[in-house]
Structures are given as structure tokens and as C-alpha cells.
Amino acid sequence: MVEKDHFRQVLQHSPFHDRIEEHNLIKNWMSWNGYQTARVLDTLSAEYFAIRSGCSVMDLTPMEKYRITGPDSLAFLNRLVARDLSKLKPNRVTYVVWCNDDGKVLDDGTIFHLGDAGYRLCSQHHQLDWLLISSQGFDVEIAEETHEVAALAVQGPTSCAVLRAAGIDGLDQLKPFGIQYTQLLGFEVMVSRTGYTGDLGYEVWTEPRHAVDLWDAIFATKHRGLYDVRVIGLDALEMVRIEAGFIMPGDDFITAETAVRADHDRSPFELGVGWTVNLDKPYFTGKGALIKEKSSAIKRRLVKLVVEGNKPPVDSFLYDAMKGKRIGTIKSQTWSPILKANLAMADIDYINGKAPREIWAEIYYQKELTWHATWARTTVSEKPFWSHPRKSATPPGPY
Amino acid sequence: MANNRGKKYDAIVIGAGHNGLTNAAFLAKAGLDVLVLEKNEYIGGATVSRELHEGWKYSNCSYVCSLFRPEIYQALDLGRHGLEVIPLQGSTTFMQNGDYFGSYHQPTVRRREIARHSKRDADAAIRFDADLMKWCRLIRGFLLRTPPNPASLKPRDAWEFAYLVKQFYGLSESQIYEFIRFFTMSIAEYLEEYFESDVILAHFSGGSIIGTGLGVYSPGTAYVLLHHAMGDVDGNIGSWGFSRGGMGAIAKSIAASFSSFGGEIRTAAEVRQIRVAGRRAVGVVLVSGEEIDASVVVSNLDAKRTFLGVMDPKDLPEDLLHRAENFKIRGSSGKVNIALDGLPNMTALPQGSPLTRGHMHFTDTLERLERGYDDWKDNRWSADPYVDALIPSQFDPTLAPPGKHMMSVFVQYCPYDVEGGWSDEKRDAFGATVIDQIAQYSPDFKSMILHTEVRTPLELENEVGLTEGNIFQGELTLDQLMFNRPFPGYAQYRGPVKNMYLCSSSTHPGGGVMGAPGANSAREILKDLRRLNTVPADFGDD
Amino acid sequence: MTNSKTIVLVGGGHNGLVCATYLAKGLGPAGYTVQVLEARDQIGGAASTRCFGQDSCKGGFRVSAVAHVLHSLDPQIGRDLNLANAGLDRGPAIETISLGRNGDHLTLSATAVSGNGLSKVDIESYASFKNEFRSYAKALKPLMTNRPPRLKNMDRRDLITLTQLGWALRFGLGANSMLEFLRVGGINIYDVLNEQFDSERLKGAIAADAVIGHHMGPRTPTTVLTYLHRLQGELHSPQTLPPGGMGKVTEALAEAARIAGVHIRTGAKVTRILIRDGSVTGVALDSGERIDTELVVSNADAKTTFLKLVGTQDLDAMFAHRIRKTRTNGTVAKLHLGLKGLPEVNGMSVAQLGQRLLIAPDMGYVEHAFNHAKYGEFSEHPVLEITLPSITDASLTRDGYHVMSVVACFAPYALKTGWDQGREVFADRIVSLLGAYFPGIASQIVARELLTPVDIEAQYNITGGHWHHGELGIDQSFMMRPVHGAAQYDTPVDGLFLCGAAAHPGGGVTGVPGRLAAERILALSR
């Protein structure tokens, strides 16, 4: 229930806020979905390496969450998203994208099959209007539950060990994209082996009233001197999600609902997530348009680029060969400390349906306020830039 | 007053409103010797602020701006000539159940406030904003252009028409149809495709009826929303601004710019007639009998006053006379300016709400808005009027003494031809209706009133010279837009005789404190005179 | 029944029958059979004849159900389908008489107006006004009698239509008329009539023609367009009262269909259009029967077709949303009166009584009548369109009795009080209004029934009970009818077509949507 004077506090606090604030040494906050969220709490590199080499904790509560229940839930969701959900078993999670009528991506997210409790859809952007539009003719209930579910992402090679030490049992047998329920200190938590880091990791879900207890249980492992556990902010997450090759709506592409200019929206094929599109399943929104797109020449692709050298290719233009035809731009990029390379997501045009042979980036960078221009060769990476076997090993190995 | 007898000006502009001054300034900037004639003793037309109650400054016609083209602002250097436009802090619709809906300036708060009334609507607003932006983007490109004549076979018109079609074709096929739908739908029905909450529907509809002779369910009103939404203050689309010192500051700054280019303004100089010789305009004759010669005469009067007022019917083709007579320019708005002893307490708003510094509305359903229109159709003012109230003295201390306040109240609907004709009693009764409407939501409001100035369309007509008090100088309906504005065949700023031009809001792109008609007209005049164009092109969007 | 060469037409209204006949003629030789499935026990849909009063038609009254004046049946259809041969009788041509309370009635024909107290100027203006507006209607003909062209990604046919339209506007009308048309095309009839005429009665009568059947008042912008829509019919034939009621017209259409080899089944209610992988595979009936087919043509309204028969699971979400948001609430009620004896009107002959009578004394009256509809109320003083078909057609009832058929505006579908509460109140109100013009009529009434939009919806399977299967606002017309993406008779579902009033050019007993849908199907099957 929102009070009439909610204007007094612009950014909402999640149930973990007080705890996070204690860890946030530099008070570098921003808004994520209307919640006060840390960008960096202490040092970016420390937070990055907590994810890649230790155990990181991030507040997931601001992520949009919807609960879908009712007899037509599966039919509704299967008409909503491009992926075939009929094979999604209870206590399993899957990654999905959904499109508008023109086959352009509205958002991406994950769907949790919660068994008798229905489905949970997590998304990047606000989707209630679209979900309700899509629900016409289906016997389903859709409820936004963002603020009713507190969630933490616990990610990194020691994450399993940390959660175990915190008192969450049975994680050894939890496979990637699996869900399990456990009692912790007398309340129920749901753990899913999911994440946005491309590493071993879990997301832990509970009621807001147990949020602080959950947090304290996890950090107790640190206080007991067992493991280092570090709170991370959005900036570190941005680095690892690019390494893992995950796309970010709003950064790597404009969502179809917010695109004002024609041709600025993108299809799943164009975003390189065509693997989630199943054209053999029953009708879903955008299917007709996607079938048509599939049979015509490729116009463009969002690709993963490794950019040679160490100059940051921020907002760089891309060319077909050095000083050749301009074919696109870099949408997001990061320096990968673990790979010692510049990694980027880039939107490039295909020429006559063909990928450019060699892509060069024109980079502007400054040293002591003096600007320089340089060219850097790039290579397209078909796979995630970084992937580790521990991500999918069940049971997870020791660290 | 300078004695101009014997002097021949390059151009005379009739009417020192913002469009007349804009027009004159661009002509003067091109090196022309320009005289602006104003009937009143003060300049500004409808962009005017005057001290009508001691210590208080009333902007007694137009009261906010957002549409004013930044291209003109920049080209005439208005910032250096004293113009300051302060963005307003959102808007509120007070509800009959004691609650309110606030469209806050702060986006996160705004979103949460919509969600407070409907979670779905908060998300639908994202879709709505993006769609509205598509249409804004398209229409804004046409504001600083001259509409083509669709029946003309001239290359220039064909080229301009092709440009229009090309812009249109920047949209996808389904967007083209959606645009046509937007252009022809009623605001209520358009909004109902997005929103479900009554108060949100009512809140977003209000802008579409301001100044019009249409109701929220009248087809064509969705487009009027654009007239109120496509303006911007420093790139914040749809946000409104208030010029420091009142709306008169806009006219003053344009006048200062005009003077810096050597232009001359004469007030208390009412034009009786545009003199025509050999089917050419050659000057004007004032009410005083004085004759002034000029190579070009530009009328900033509305189309009715221009053709039926200051032109001799024998100089006009018959079809034009007929069209001028049938030009739709019905007054539908009133204005109440109130001097307040303090800041009234709006019961519904929590202490410290920023919303007191924005627009305040008091009509929370579409039905109430539409019933207000039904009253107007029957020549009555709305018994339950749509009110746009604002207390600008909160952020502009030049408007009222310290601790006191000035409230500007725009009222929709108020007829020009009230049943039985206007009288002082009726005007006061109209004012009382408006004050009662506000007082329902503010118990101490009435006790704070020190002075009230009530203006019906009749007063707007008499003082400013807006025919029937129509604030747009002609209704913004499909028959009077683009190449139909003011009349088919006369939409390119040129009058029916040579060297005579129009530059008022009666011409494309129409009303609102925009300056575009004045600028477009100047561009056409300079083209005919083979002078260097001083009128800027649209900044463009990409 | 399994046959991939079966074409199923859902709905045996006039457009469905027209479409079926064209299809049978065009595809019959290629081995296709065309089946019309009508849910009711009688063909004709809203263009049928119904009985009321007493227990059965014997001793009771018969009357045209919804549409009661034939004024726009496309003559090309008459020729193509040889309807004269099938027994089509349009019946006697009638004029429109706008009733005055004191015998000061106005008679409006297609080209002239006469009546007491009418000024010479008005009489002359009427002739020139009708001339001008008929020329506009004519200029719109390329658009009104063809498949609506797409505005981007056009094919050859679209380009031809657009060129013809552009030519008709620019050179058919001439530069001045074109500009004038572009001015008035989007505005309201109220302003136009005020520019043209002085007589309030005359303006009221014309304004009524512009708004009857629509959720619009004279001051609603776009009522010039609805008036031009009505004038389309006037371009080729006079308005008539078909003997035996409108049902006889659709019976003739059905006969023409049978001659062409169409199978017509009544009492066959389609509950589902079956779809697989985005293509039609058949239809399911409420009897449980399934008919396999790859081609289904729906004469049902768009909401029924897409939201009920197809179902949203086979449609894109925004498309379904747009269908759902189309404005389809009817605003017209139909009052049927069985009368003992012929009612009398001050100063009117029996022959005059047999014309189309209007009660719409002035534009303010019409506008006020409409005001109520906006708020979910029926009109306090409704606008009435009255016929007494039994004057020229004795078959409708017994000797000494008469049938009065009254179209009453405005009666909104979504009545705030609900029609169960409102039905009799509104009927009483109409009767008492009639009494002011037909003194003593109340005592002549031996039977009456009021069909509200809710009844029309329930009995004739039209969502919202809307005459036109959806408002004819610009945003729901032409290439946006019923919605863009389904405006060229084909739909996002392969093998599913629309042929009813929900499609361009909309309602009225014109048959044009049926003809154009058939042309589209035949063109695509080539």
C-alpha cells in the first residue's frame, strides 16, 4: 500500500536496505526500478573478484516479479514467450524473451515453475500492462509481487559452501536452473541455481519479514571467519554479465515498447538469442513475424566482440575493415580483469545478409584530458567470453 | 511618438502579440525597416502581464508556455533579452473522494503515484509516453514549415508534399495507421486504449480540451493533446514552463530583440484598415486617420478580424469573405485571476507537497469533463468547470508582495454567446462558480481572496482582440489545421492581395505561445522579397 | 464431413450470402463447395423479418427485424448475382418526411426538399448542398467500393485504388471542391448545416441521417463522413420498403446463393474456428460436429470472430487487444408496434404515412438526444425513424391492423440502469413521443416489442448490438476497419477472411463487404 505522501522518499528501500547501507562505504547509490541500489560499495575490483573468485551477495528484490496462477497459466505463458514452456518441469527455471506483434523483443527474463503455486516471471522492465493485455482470453491471475518477495543473489565459486555453512542444506544435488525449498532458522527459503554472472551461483528467495535473518545467516559465515562474503553493486554485475555474454534490455537494445524511431527495435534473432525461439510450438505473439524474418536475409546482429588492446571502446563506431564502411556501434563494454581483454556487445549491420568479414573499432580515449583516436581490430565471439566448468557441475566441486 | 508622415516602411506588422513581434524581429534581422502597430497602450497581445490590483501582476490571458520554439528563442537571442522560463512542478487532479492524483515532476515518484491509483496504468504509461513521443516527433518537424497546398500542381508544393509523405513514411505501416487513428480519435477513447483509472483518464484528458469547442469524447481531440504535449522546456517533452515576470516577459523579450535589430513599435495605434491599391497592399490607415506607407503589410490579427475587420471587402475575393465568415473561432475559455492573502491549504495534499507549485485540476472523471462541454454547447458556462489553477508567485516573487500570492485560473468551458448575453452579474456568477469549484478542495481559499478579476471570452475579445475570445485564434479542428489553416488555399501566409501576409495563430501551426506562425510567415515574406532568410529551421530530432 | 475443397461461411446474413454466392460462382468450377452456416433457424441475420404480437405470426404482426429501409444494396451485386431472377423485389421507393407537430412537415428527396414555411433560399440551398455532397460521395467511391488500400507496402491493386481516389478528388471534383471536401471531410455535420441552411427542421432531418445508427451527435466531428457513407446508397438507388420485410431481400439473396450451388444450413451454430500452426483447419459446431476446411469466411463481427471463434491463443496479443478495444456498443433500439387501425398525423395523407418518417425537429434536439447516450442513459426525447410498412404491404398483418416499425436513438448498449429496468420505460417514452405526432396512437396499440442493443446482441449474435458491427469513426474505417492488420478481408490467420459489416465499408444492407471479401479471396486463390 503506497501512502499519499510517498513523494517524501523518492527511492524505495528493499528489506535488505539497512544491512546494505552498513556495507556501503562510499554511498554511491542509484535507482534500480525505483529502489535505492548500490553501484559500488567499496572498491569495484574487490567486488568483481568476489564474484569470480569468492562469494558475492547482491540484493535482487528490485527485480520485477510477477506471479501467474490459474488453470491457463501454462497456455498463457506459452503464448507470451518465444520459448516452448510445455517441457518446463516443476521446480525448474528457464530463460525467455518475449516479443510484440512485430516479433521485436519487449524484454527478457526468467520463468520459475513453482508447481502448484503457479509460475513466477522475473523481468528487467515493467511488464504488468503487457501481461494483462496478453492475458485476454486466458483464465489466469497475474499479480505483481516485486515488493512481496525478498531475494538475494549469492554468486561465486564459494557460494555453495557459504550457503551450506549458513544453514541451507541439500544444495549439492541442485542442478543449474533447479529450484529447492529449505527451512532456515524456522522459516522457508527457496533457492534456485540461477544468476546473471555466468558463474556458480544461487538466488535465495524468502518473505520480506525474514530478509534480515537470511542476510545475517549468510554473513555470519564471514563473521565466523569461514569465508569472505562481499556485498556487490551494479557496476561489478555489469562487468560479469558482459563476460558471461548476457544481454541487457535498455543498454544493448531498446525494448520494443519504448522504441520511438522505426527500425530501432530488435528481434530475438537480431539479438543473438534466437536459440530461445521455438517456431514449432503453438502460436505465440510475434511468431508470424519471426517466421517471416527467418526466411529473409539477415539485416543485423548483436554480437560479442573481443576488442584488441587495452583502450576502452566506449560508444565506438564499428567499421567493415579499418576505415571501411561504418556498420554499427558498441552498445556496452567492459575490461575483463580475468581475461585481460576488452569485451563488448555490438550492434552491427549485415551487408546483403552476410556478416562483415573483419570488424574494426574506432576508439577515442583520453590521457590526462588529452584525447586520442586509435583503431582496434575485433573478433566476434560465438560463445560467452568467459565460462567455467564449475558453473554447471553438480554437485559443485570444492570452490 | 515619432512622426512617420512621409516615411515608407519596408514592413508594417499589425498587432504586437508574440507572433507579430516574432515576425517583425525576423524581418528586422534581415535588414528590413519594420514598424509594429499595437492598438493597446501596452504590447504583448495575449502574452501580457499587467498590474490590475496594486502589488499584483496578472498574466491575464495566456499563463504558461512550453510550446515556444527553442529555435526561435535561440535565433532571436531571447535569453539575453531578458527571458527566463522556469519549469513547473507537475500537476494535480483533486478527487471528489478526498484523494488526489499528482503527476509529479520526479519520474520515479510520478510512476509510483500512477501505480497508487492503478498498477496497470503505471506500466501502460510507458507505452503511452512512447507512442505519444512518436507522434510528437512527426508533428514537431512540421511546425517550422509552410504547409503545401494539396490541390496545387506547382513543384514547390509537390516537393513539400513529398517531404510530408517522406516523414510519414519514416513510420512503419502499422504506425501510420496508428497515427491516423491518433489524429482522428477523441482523447477519451484514445486514452481508454491505455488506461483504466478514472482519475488518470480525466487528468490526461484535460489538456485536450483547453481552448477548444470540443469535448473529451469529440473525435479530433486526441491531436489537441499534442498541442499541449509537444512543447518542451530544455528537452523535457511535455513539461510546462512559466516565464519569470509573467507571460508579458515573453513579449517584452521579443520586443527587445526586435528593437536591437532597429525595429520600431507604436502602441495606442489601432489600425482601421489595410490600404490596397492596384491589388497590392501599400500601407495602413490608423483609427486616428493617420496613414502609414509600407511595402509589406503583415496582419497578426486573427483571420476573422483581418478579413472582416481591417480589410475592405471590395479588396477580397468573394469565396474568401464567405470562408472568413464561416471560420470557426468560438470562445470556450474564461480566466480568473486572484490575489491571495497567503497560500491556500489544499486539504488533500500532504504537508510539503511539491504539487502546490504545479497545475491544479478539480475534475476527476471523463463524464464530468464531458458534461462541462454539454453546458457550453447550450451556451452556458460549465456548472462543474474544468479548471487549470496555478500559483506562480511561489517561484516568481515579482508577481505578488512577499507572503501574498497570485493565482491564475484558466476555465473551460465558458461561452462567448452566453444565454441572454453577458452582464456584470453573470460574469460575477461565472467567477463564483469557479471559486466554489476550488473552494471545495480548500476550506481557507475563499477567506484569502483579496481581489478577483474575472474574464469571460467577451473580455478576452475586447481587450486582446481575440475574436470571440478564442485563445487559439481559430479552433484546432481537422478543417482548420495544416493546409486548411486558416482556409484552404490560404495556408501559406500570403493574403489575397500582393504584399499582404498573415502571421497570427490563425495560420499554421496554430495557437499556443509558440511563435511558429510568426516565424513561418517571416520566412515566406523574405522569400518573396528575395532577402536572406533569417528564420531558423527545426533543430531536427536525430 | 471431410473435404479440403469446402469453403465455410460463418453467418447467413446478407453479406455472408453475397460473399458465398460470389465464391460459388468463382470457385465452384474448380470443384469447391461453399457452405453457409447460420446459427439461427432463419437466414438473414439482422436483415430478416420477425414476428411479434399474439402467439405466433398467425394473427400477429411481421416486421423487418433491425434494418427496415433498403437504401444501399449495391446494384453491381444485383447484376452479378442476377438477384431479379432470384426474386428480389426492392419494393416501392419512399421519400423522407420530417414530421412537424403542427402539420408543417418537410419532404426530403434525394435532390429536392419541400414543405410549409421553408424559405426559397433553403430550398435552393438544399439542391446545391445535395449536389455538392453527392459529388463528394462520388469522389469517395473508389475508396468505398474497393478493397481499402494499404498506405505502405502497397500492391498493384492498392496503387490503382489510391490513384483513382486521388484522381477523383483532384480532377473529378476540381481544385476548389477538393479543398472544400478536405475541409469538411473530417468535421461535423452541425457546422456544415449551419453554414448552409436557416430552417431548423431541415437541419435536424439531415443531421439525423448523419447520426442514426452511430454513437454520435450532430456536433460530433466526422459526422460529415457518416453522412457521406449514407449517401453512397443514394448514388445508385432510391430508398425502398421491401415487401415482406427485409427477410424477403435476404431470402432472395439465399435463393441466388442456392442457384449458384451454395449449401445453406440454418440452426448450425459455429462455436469455434479451428486453427493449427496459424492456419484454418476447420470449424466446430455446437452440435459437436466438425467440418474440415482450409478456408473460413466470417460474416460475424470482429469481436465474435477473433475473440470467441478463433480465440486469442492463436493471435498476436496486441492485435487481440486492438480488436477488444474497438467500439462496438450499439446505440439504437427498435420498437415494433402492432396497431388497430391506421394512426393519423395532422395534415398527412395515407400515402405520405407510408414514407420514411423522421422525428428530429432540430439539431439541438438531436444533440440533446445524444447527450444522454454518452452517460449510459437513453434519450429523454429520442430521435425516431418510423415506417408503417403495412400501408403498402398487406402481407404483414391482418385486415384492419397495421405495423409500425420505429428506430429509436439513442439507446446505449451499456445502459447504466440495465435494460431489464429500462426496457419498458424507454418503450413508454417512445410511445408517448409518438403520441404527440400521432394523436391517439396509444389506444391503437395491441402489441409491442422493444429490441434494445442488448436484445439485438442476444438474438442476432452481433457484439454490442451495433448495426454497423462497430462505430464508423475514421479510426475504425477504411484501412483501419475493423483494425489495421485485418482490413483487407484477409486476417492474420491463414485461410480466415472477414466478409461482414465489421469489414470495409461497414454496415447497411449494401452487400459490399461480402462482394469485396469474395473478390479478395478469388484474387488470392489465383
The shortest C-alpha distance from C322 to chain A (Å) reads: 10
The verdict on C172 and C270 lying in the same domain is no
User: pLDDT band for position C57 (50/70/90)?
Assistant: low
Give percent of chain B above pLDDT 70: 96
Among B348, B268, B301, CA closest to B46: B301
For B42-52, the pLDDT digits (tens) are 999 888 888 88
| Chain B residue with the nearest C-alpha to that of A36 | B108
Residue B153: per-residue pLDDT: 83
SS3 at position B114: helix
The number of distinct structural domains making up chain C is 2
Average pLDDT estimate for B145-170: 88
Half-sphere exposure (CA, 13 Å, Cβ side) for C23?
31
User: pLDDT band for position C2 (50/70/90)?
Assistant: very low
Residue in C311, C316, C485 closest to A285 by CB: C316
The verdict on C148 and C207 lying in the same domain is yes
CA distances from A32 to A44, A123, A124, A215 (A): 18, 13, 10, 20
Residue C230: per-residue pLDDT: 92
Residue A2: per-residue pLDDT: 85
The shortest C-alpha distance from B71 to chain A (Å) reads: 22
On whether the CB atoms of residues B386 and B374 are closer than 8 A, the answer is no
Residue in A75, A133, A288 closest to C317 by CB: A133
- Whole-prediction pTM: 0.95
For A249-270, the pLDDT digits (tens) are 999 999 999 999 888 999 999 9
Looking at chain A, the domain(s) classified CATH 3.30.1360.120 span: 10-61+149-243
Residue B67: per-residue pLDDT: 74
The shortest C-alpha distance from B349 to chain A (Å) reads: 8
Cβ neighbours around C34 below 10 Å, total: 27
| Chain A residue with the nearest C-alpha to that of C303 | A137
The verdict on C150 and C84 lying in the same domain is no
A1 pLDDT more than 80:
no
CB contact under 8 A, C307 and A136: yes
B1 pLDDT more than 60:
no
The verdict on C156 and C215 lying in the same domain is yes
**Three cell numbers at A100?**
510484440
Give the number of A-B residue pairs with CB atoms closer than 8 Å: 75
Give the N- to C-terminal CA distance of chain C in Å, as an integer.
26
C3 pLDDT more than 60:
no
User: pLDDT band for position B73 (50/70/90)?
Assistant: very high
- Sequence-distant (6+) residues with CB within 8 A of C315 are A283, C306, C323, C492, C493
Instruction: Name chain C's partners: 3 or more CB pairs within 8 A.
Output: A, B
User: pLDDT band for position B489 (50/70/90)?
Assistant: confident
Q: How far apart are the C-alpha atoms of C292 and C520, rounded to whole Å?
A: 22
Choosing among B127, B153, B173, which should be mutated to test the C contact, i.e. which has the most C CBs within 10 A?
B173
Residue in B108, B120, B171 closest to A11 by CB: B108
Residue C397: per-residue pLDDT: 93
The verdict on C208 and C227 lying in the same domain is yes
CB contact under 8 A, C185 and B478: yes
Listed by number, the residues of chain B in 149-168 with a beta carbon closer than 8 Å to a beta carbon of chain C are 150-152
- Quickly tell me which residue has 410549409 as its cell: C116
- Sequence-distant (6+) residues with CB within 8 A of C87 are C248, C251, C252, C255
On whether the CB atoms of residues B434 and B410 are closer than 8 A, the answer is no
Contact list, C187 vs chain B (CB under 8 Å): 477-479
Is residue C204, in this structure, part of any structural domain at all?
Answer: yes
Residue C356: per-residue pLDDT: 97
Nearest-10 crossing angle of helices B198-205, B107-117: 130
| Chain B residue with the nearest C-alpha to that of A35 | B108
| Chain B residue with the nearest C-alpha to that of A143 | B119
The shortest C-alpha distance from B122 to chain C (Å) reads: 18
For A228-253, the pLDDT digits (tens) are 999 999 999 999 999 999 999 999 99
For C385-441, the pLDDT digits (tens) are 999 999 999 999 999 999 999 999 999 999 999 999 999 999 999 999 999 999 999
Looking at chain A, the domain(s) classified CATH 2.40.30.110 span: 298-381
- In CATH terms, the fold of domain A65-146 is Alpha-Beta Plaits (3.30.70)
User: pLDDT band for position C233 (50/70/90)?
Assistant: confident
Show the domains of chain B with their CATH numbers: 8-51+61-84+245-328+472-528 (3.50.50.60)
**Three cell numbers at A273?**
538469442
Choosing among A123, A126, A292, which should be mutated to test the B contact, i.e. which has the most B CBs within 10 A?
A126
Looking at chain A, the domain(s) classified CATH 3.30.70.1400 span: 65-146
Give the N- to C-terminal CA distance of chain A in Å, as an integer.
43
For B338-374, the pLDDT digits (tens) are 999 999 999 999 999 999 999 999 999 999 999 999 9
The verdict on C151 and C227 lying in the same domain is yes
Residues of chain C whose beta carbon is less than 8 angstroms from a beta carbon of chain B are 150-153, 170, 175-176, 178-180, 182-187, 191, 195, 219-222, 322, 325, 327, 364, 367, 371, 374-375, 473-475, 479-480, 484-485
| Chain C residue with the nearest C-alpha to that of A282 | C277
DSSP state of C504: T
The verdict on C83 and C15 lying in the same domain is yes
The verdict on C207 and C259 lying in the same domain is no
Residue B232: per-residue pLDDT: 55
The shortest C-alpha distance from C314 to chain A (Å) reads: 5
- Determine if the peptide bond prior to B413 is cis (ω within 30°): yes
Cβ neighbours around A185 below 10 Å, total: 12
Choosing among B135, B180, B373, which should be mutated to test the C contact, i.e. which has the most C CBs within 10 A?
B180
SS3 at position A286: coil
User: pLDDT band for position C1 (50/70/90)?
Assistant: very low
Distance of CA A270 to the CA centre of its chain: 18
Sign of CA dihedral B5, B9, B13, B18: negative
- The residue from C234, C254, C284 where one domain ends is C234
The verdict on C224 and C271 lying in the same domain is no
CA distances from A159 to A17, A388, B457, C520 (A): 21, 14, 73, 63
Residue B541: per-residue pLDDT: 77
Q: How far apart are the C-alpha atoms of C98 and C91, rounded to whole Å?
A: 21
Q: Give me the phi and psi of A11, to 5 degrees please.
A: -95, 130
User: pLDDT band for position B488 (50/70/90)?
Assistant: confident
Q: How far apart are the C-alpha atoms of C486 and C503, rounded to whole Å?
A: 8
For domain A298-381, give the CATH number.
Answer: 2.40.30.110
Is residue C509, in this structure, part of any structural domain at all?
Answer: yes
C150 pLDDT more than 50:
yes
Boundaries of domain holding C216 = 126-234
Is residue C16, in this structure, part of any structural domain at all?
Answer: yes
Residue in A5, A125, A128 closest to B119 by CB: A128
Residue B2: per-residue pLDDT: 45
Listed by number, the residues of chain B in 129-148 with a beta carbon closer than 8 Å to a beta carbon of chain A are 130, 133-134, 137
For A14-42, the pLDDT digits (tens) are 999 999 999 999 999 999 999 999 999 99
Which of A49-58, B144-153, C150-159 is modeled with the greatest confidence?
A49-58
For C267-276, the pLDDT digits (tens) are 999 999 999 9
- The residue from C234, C260, C280 where one domain ends is C234
Contact list, B319 vs chain C (CB under 8 Å): 176
Q: b vs e for B408-444, b when ≥16 Cβ sit within 10 Å of the residue's Cβ?
A: bbbbbbbbbebeeebeeebbeebbebbbebbbebbee
User: pLDDT band for position B88 (50/70/90)?
Assistant: confident
Average pLDDT estimate for B265-288: 96
Choosing among B374, B480, B485, which should be mutated to test the C contact, i.e. which has the most C CBs within 10 A?
B374
- Quickly tell me which residue has 528457464 as its cell: A94
The verdict on C211 and C254 lying in the same domain is no
User: pLDDT band for position A87 (50/70/90)?
Assistant: very high
Give percent of chain C above pLDDT 90: 89
Residue in B172, B374, B489 closest to C179 by CB: B489
Choosing among A127, A265, A283, A296, which should be mutated to test the C contact, i.e. which has the most C CBs within 10 A?
A283
Say yes or no: ipTM exceeds 0.90.
yes
Contact list, B175 vs chain A (CB under 8 Å): 262
**Three cell numbers at B233?**
522546456
The shortest C-alpha distance from B361 to chain C (Å) reads: 22
User: pLDDT band for position A289 (50/70/90)?
Assistant: very high
CB contact under 8 A, C179 and B367: no
The shortest C-alpha distance from B520 to chain C (Å) reads: 22
For C451-474, the pLDDT digits (tens) are 999 999 999 999 999 999 999 999
The verdict on C157 and C221 lying in the same domain is yes
| Strand order across the beta sheet in which A105-113 lies | A93-99, A105-113, A119-123, A64-69, A141-144
Among C362, C363, C361, C343, CA closest to C353: C343
B231 pLDDT more than 90:
no
Would you call B3 an interface residue with chain A, using a CB distance cutoff of 8 Å? no
Among B337, B334, B415, CA closest to B376: B415
Residue A207: per-residue pLDDT: 97
SS3 at position A82: coil
On whether the CB atoms of residues C51 and C114 are closer than 8 A, the answer is no
For B458-481, the pLDDT digits (tens) are 999 998 889 999 999 999 888 898
Q: How far apart are the C-alpha atoms of A56 and C483, rounded to whole Å?
A: 51
C242 pLDDT more than 70:
yes
Listed by number, the residues of chain B in 87-116 with a beta carbon closer than 8 Å to a beta carbon of chain A are 99-100, 102, 104, 106, 108-109, 111-113, 115-116
Residue in A2, A31, A126 closest to B116 by CB: A2
Assign domain A10-61+149-243 to its CATH architecture: 2-Layer Sandwich (3.30)
- The residue from C184, C212, C234 where one domain ends is C234
Contact list, C324 vs chain A (CB under 8 Å): 136
For C26-56, the pLDDT digits (tens) are 999 999 999 999 999 999 999 999 999 876 5
User: pLDDT band for position B241 (50/70/90)?
Assistant: confident
B3 pLDDT more than 90:
no
Q: Give me the phi and psi of C350, to 5 degrees please.
A: -60, -40
Residue A299: per-residue pLDDT: 95
Helix extents (H) in B194-247: 198-205, 221-229
The verdict on C224 and C267 lying in the same domain is no
Choosing among B166, B181, B186, which should be mutated to test the C contact, i.e. which has the most C CBs within 10 A?
B181
Mean pLDDT over each residue of chain C, to the nearest integer: 94
Residue in A100, A138, A288 closest to C318 by CB: A100
Residue B90: per-residue pLDDT: 87
